[in-house]
Amino acid sequence: MATVSAGAKEAANSSVDGDLDRLIELSHTIHAHPELAFEEVRATEWTSNMLAGRGFAVTGNVAGLATAYEATFGSGPTVVGLCVEYDALPGVGHACGHNIIAASSVGAALALAGVADDLGLTVKVFGTPAEEGGGGKAIMIDAGVFAGLDAAMMVHPWPNERLEAQCLAVSHFDVIYRGKSAHASAAPFEGINAGDALTLAQVAIGLARQQLRPGDQVHGIVTSGGQAANIIPDETRGRFMCRSTTIEALERLEPRIRCCFEAGAVATGASLEYESLSEVYTHMESDPVLLAAYRSNAEHLGRTFTLDDEGVPLPTISTDMANVSLVVPSIHPLIAIETRGAVNHQPEFTAACITDSADRAVRDGALALAWTAIDVAAGA
């Protein structure tokens, strides 16, 4: 099997290099046309069409999601899944590099299709919408889409090379206060100030941070704060995230934070509502065998993991790939691109995601994933 595996890796290398211009074009095209969560119509079409053109059987609208799909090639007993992400962030576009994620996963899948029969491999590609807060993968898990996989993989661009991040469990929700409008000068006493309610809640959260446990985080924005300075606002809205190291820790944190929101309602007389934006994102459990294989393959491509070897603390993020990791052996390594000091979710990181360094990450990510899948098949 070692000879077959080596030959398969050489074939995968040739495939990725042969497709590289198209993969880079795919990455740049997605980057140039950012689409928000659950609106990734064009990116869904571009990535799935590229797979269908190479013989993948594509099923759209999976899990009831218009921008989710499953593409399958082969019928072998070892089943490997590759996750394609393609949603952008409001205001800053592809500041998390989902264009690179999409192109690298597609490239890995195309490379594996050429060796699937020899390896006894079934290749599945999942178009997963709304990673940036909508929880597309969590919805797909509930629908059984990830059932039967032996492994699930993707790479994520980052300023540094890291084998994994500390993926915090997170809940996403909107907070809505409703009060009563009134003239802010002539009759403010006739109003109920929904803006004050949200302000008080944010102050309470700020004070609560002193007592939060290590790993607990709360952050949010005001999405609607009123219509005019001389009108007591009768409705305000905020969007918030609670994060913690595990699901259990998050379940302890969130009720405490909700007390802060309730304090704002009690103090002002405004009513309070919550709107959940997605299923909870879990903590992640990376599969050590897959991670070791990925490291070996990435190092063969010249990638180094100095920060991991030196024990530098892991960066903290949240992703719905973590949900996948609790039901399927999974990895979510961070692949380095040159950012000139920028970090994810900054406009400068957006610009970095279509540089020569980013294009190298498309190639290296595709190859490292394909080679790791080949190792999975060889060891099955």
**For residue range 37-49, what is the model confidence (pLDDT) as tens digits?**
999 999 999 999 9
- Indicate whether 270 and 296 sit together in one domain: no
5 confidence band (pLDDT: 50, 70, 90): confident
Q: Which of 276, 304, 331 is the last residue of a domain?
A: 276
Q: What pTM does this model have?
A: 0.94
pLDDT exceeds cutoff 90 at 2: no
Range of the domain at 250: 169-276
> Do residues 215 and 188 lie in contact, with contact meaning Cβ atoms separated by under 8 Å?
no
> Do residues 353 and 30 lie in contact, with contact meaning Cβ atoms separated by under 8 Å?
no
pLDDT tens digits along 197-242? 999 999 999 999 999 999 999 999 999 999 999 999 999 999 999 9
What is the overall mean pLDDT for the chain? 97
Q: Which of 241, 276, 311 is the last residue of a domain?
A: 276
Question: Can you give the pLDDT at residue 379?
Answer: 85
Q: In this structure, are strands 57-60 and 69-73 parallel, antiparallel, or unpaired? A: antiparallel
Please count the structural domains in the chain: 2
Enter the tokens of residue 299: 């190092």
278: Cβ contacts below 8 Å, ≥ 6 apart: 130, 133, 134, 135, 138, 172, 320
- Indicate whether 153 and 179 sit together in one domain: no
371 confidence band (pLDDT: 50, 70, 90): very high
146: left (phi over 0), alpha (psi -120 to 50) or beta: alpha
- Indicate whether 176 and 236 sit together in one domain: yes
281 confidence band (pLDDT: 50, 70, 90): very high
- Helix-helix angle 356-379:2-32, to 10 degrees: 150
- Indicate whether 9 and 122 sit together in one domain: yes
- Indicate whether 84 and 192 sit together in one domain: no
Enter the tokens of residue 320: 């719905």
DSSP result, 270-290: -EEEEEE-SPPB------HHH
Enter the tokens of residue 167: 């993926």
Enter the tokens of residue 333: 């390594």
The Cα 305–Cα 270 span in angstroms is 52
- Indicate whether 126 and 191 sit together in one domain: no
- Indicate whether 184 and 54 sit together in one domain: no
pLDDT exceeds cutoff 60 at 1: no
Dihedral sign from CA coordinates of 249, 252, 257, 258 = positive
- Indicate whether 325 and 256 sit together in one domain: no
pLDDT tens digits along 144-191? 999 999 999 999 999 999 999 999 999 999 999 999 999 999 999 999
**At residue 173, what is the residue type?**
F
State the maximum Cα–Cα separation within the chain, in Å, rounded to a whole number.
85
To the nearest whole percent, how much of the chain has pLDDT over 70? 99
Contacts 24+ apart (CB under 8 A), 44-51: 44/68, 44/69, 44/86, 44/127, 44/129, 47/84, 47/86, 47/102, 47/106, 47/127, 48/127, 50/22, 50/26, 50/106, 50/110, 51/106, 51/109, 51/110, 51/125
CA angle 323, 216, 282 (to 5 degrees): 5
- Indicate whether 157 and 175 sit together in one domain: no
pLDDT tens digits along 314-365? 999 999 999 999 999 999 999 999 999 999 999 999 999 999 999 999 999 9
CA angle 27, 31, 35 (to 5 degrees): 120
CA angle 122, 131, 68 (to 5 degrees): 50
The Cα 380–Cα 374 span in angstroms is 10
- Indicate whether 210 and 293 sit together in one domain: no
Q: Which of 248, 276, 304 is the last residue of a domain?
A: 276
- Indicate whether 358 and 248 sit together in one domain: no
pLDDT exceeds cutoff 90 at 125: yes
End-to-end CA distance of the chain: 11
Question: Can you give the pLDDT at residue 54?
Answer: 97
44: Cβ contacts below 8 Å, ≥ 6 apart: 60, 67, 68, 69, 86, 127, 129
The Cα 137–Cα 20 span in angstroms is 27
pLDDT exceeds cutoff 70 at 3: no
- Indicate whether 51 and 163 sit together in one domain: yes
